[in-house]
């Protein structure tokens, strides 16, 4: 009952919060996190105002095999990619938004990081590579985005983002590779999982965290070991 009331409250306040969010990000901001200075330009998902990026970042910093190849797909501000690059992972950060890409490059230079940055619509411009870890904080609301800011939140009316993602990402993985994806209880998790399973991916819940009435889940997504021919 309490969770239902919280969800209803979030739905009622969302239009107000969305206007305040856009107003705050009408100009470039610098966000300081764990000793890093992160540039957040207008139209880029702000990691300080929304909890999911920081939750995924703290999870990612506990991953083993430093020196492994890591892809942050849809990196936005590049916070996670920057933190992992500082820890010694071989990191590629990609985003569809050219403003985000330029911001990550400035963050890279500001913090003296070794980090590859690529402008790409999902995996289209990413060279064939096998990544050990792929980190994704995806857009998941089923609505058509009309600009780069909205592409950080909306996945298309029919979840096109996830259809495109899971139809292509397997070629960047081996059996030992893992996707770590964070999703909210506000989104259609079962729909997203069903799309992934059609492309022979397996899901495992690794972490659950509630902040201000919203629960975020981190899933490990792996390729099925026996993929039908």
pLDDT at 157 over 70: yes
pLDDT above 90 coverage of the chain, percent: 72
Q: In this predicted structure, what is the pLDDT of residue 219?
A: 98
pLDDT tens digits, residue range 20-60?
556 656 678 889 999 999 999 888 888 887 889 999 999 99
Q: In this predicted structure, what is the pLDDT of residue 45?
A: 83
Q: What is the mean pLDDT of residues 113-135?
A: 97
Q: How far apart are CA 205 and CA 89, in angstroms?
A: 24
Q: In this predicted structure, what is the pLDDT of residue 42?
A: 87
207 φ, ψ (degrees, to nearest 5): -150, 140
Is this prediction's pTM over 0.75?
yes
pLDDT at 144 over 50: yes
pLDDT at 178 over 60: yes
* Alpha-carbon separation of residue 103 from 12, 20, 99 (angstroms): 32, 22, 6
pLDDT at 1 over 60: no
Q: What is the mean pLDDT of residues 165-186?
A: 96
Q: What is the mean pLDDT of residues 146-158?
A: 91
Domain boundaries, the chain: 2-223
Contact status, residue 188 vs residue 217, Cβ threshold 8 Å: no
134 φ, ψ (degrees, to nearest 5): -125, 120
pLDDT at 8 over 50: no
Burial class (CB in 10 A: 0-12, 13-18, 19+), 107: buried
CATH homologous superfamily of 2-223: Vaccinia Virus protein VP39 (3.40.50.150)
- Give the orientation angle of helix 51-60 with respect to helix 79-86, to 10 degrees: 20
Q: In this predicted structure, what is the pLDDT of residue 13?
A: 45
Q: Residue 14 — pLDDT band, cuts 50, 70, 90?
A: low
């Amino acid at each position: 009952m309490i969770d239902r009331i919280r969800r209803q409250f979030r739905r009622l306040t969302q239009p107000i919060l969305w206007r305040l969010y856009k107003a705050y990000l009408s100009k470039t901001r610098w966000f300081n996190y764990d000793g890093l200075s992160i540039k957040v330009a207008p139209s880029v998902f702000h990691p300080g105002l929304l909890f999911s990026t920081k939750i995924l970042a703290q999870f990612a910093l506990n991953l083993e095999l430093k020196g492994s190849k890591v892809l942050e797909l849809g990196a936005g501000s590049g916070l996670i990619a920057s933190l992992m690059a500082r820890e010694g992972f071989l990191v590629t950060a990609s985003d569809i938004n050219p403003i985000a890409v330029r911001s990550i490059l400035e963050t890279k230079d500001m913090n003296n990081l070794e980090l590859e940055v690529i402008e790409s619509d999902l995996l289209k411009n990413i060279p064939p590579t096998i990544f050990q870890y792929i980190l994704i904080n995806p857009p998941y609301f089923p609505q058509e985005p009309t600009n780069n800011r909205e592409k950080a939140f909306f996945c298309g009316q029919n979840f096109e983002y996830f259809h495109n993602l899971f139809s292509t990402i397997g070629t960047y993985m081996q059996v030992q590779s893992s996707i770590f994806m964070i999703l909210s209880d506000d989104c259609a998790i079962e729909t997203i999982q069903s799309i992934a399973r059609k492309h022979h991916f397996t899901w495992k819940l690794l972490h659950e965290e509630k902040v201000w009435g919203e629960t975020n889940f981190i899933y490990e997504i792996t390729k099925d070991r026996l993929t039908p021919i």
